[in-house]
Structure 1
Amino acid sequence: MKKNLWLVIVFLIGLVVWFVVAPPRFWANLVRRVEVTPAVGAALVEKRDCRNCHRIEGSGALVGPELDGILSYKDPDTLRQWLRNPRRVKPGTPMPNFHFSDTEIEAILAYLGTLSAP
């Protein structure tokens, strides 16, 4: 009986860790629904420190591509796939998977759409 209880406890702890570290898409979509607006997208970009690798509106690093005007030369569907799981699109990329929900991705794309090309 005690062995079964410990197995259940270990399983539940593992499940919680999985949902926190790498939440499955359905879970992210349930718990992280946001309003799809450029302002929300801008807040997500700030929250995830995207300027540490990307230049945006003249500030930030150039480890990754500059994001100003990116929608003028990148297909939105490609960017959706990239934001959903960068390493599935390009194995070995240094960009981490932020496990964005679908609405977070749409909000980020709405924000990127407001950025003019340099």
Structure 2
Amino acid sequence: MQSCFSALREHQKIKLISTLGYVTNHSLFYKKHLAGLTANDVSQFNLEQISSLPFTTKEDLRKNGGLLPSAALHDCWVYYETTGTTGSPTPCPRNEIDSLHNNTPLIIRL
């Protein structure tokens, strides 16, 4: 059983490093939000350091909507905004992969 946990942690570490590298290179918001994180820091990042990352709040999303995307908007499959029930609407552009990751758990649950 331990090897399953080790494999999961290694997978999570690889995905975290990949995500950090991607957003710091492709999202203007995260490039600024994670400004203290160098490419070397990202490549050496581990799960124990995750609490050192600055939290992204709903207000951050609202204020920086146009700076958040890590891909060009014309590459999005769908663009929508939240209803803004608790404040200004939050932009939520999605590509095909985002949609699969966001919606598949809902479909499987049915």
Structure 1-normalised TM-score?
Answer: 0.25
**Which has more helix, going by share of residues?**
2
TM-score of the superposed pair, with normalisation by structure 2? 0.27
Higher relative contact order by CA 8 Å / sep ≥ 6: 1 or 2?
Answer: 1
Q: Which has the larger radius of gyration?
A: 1
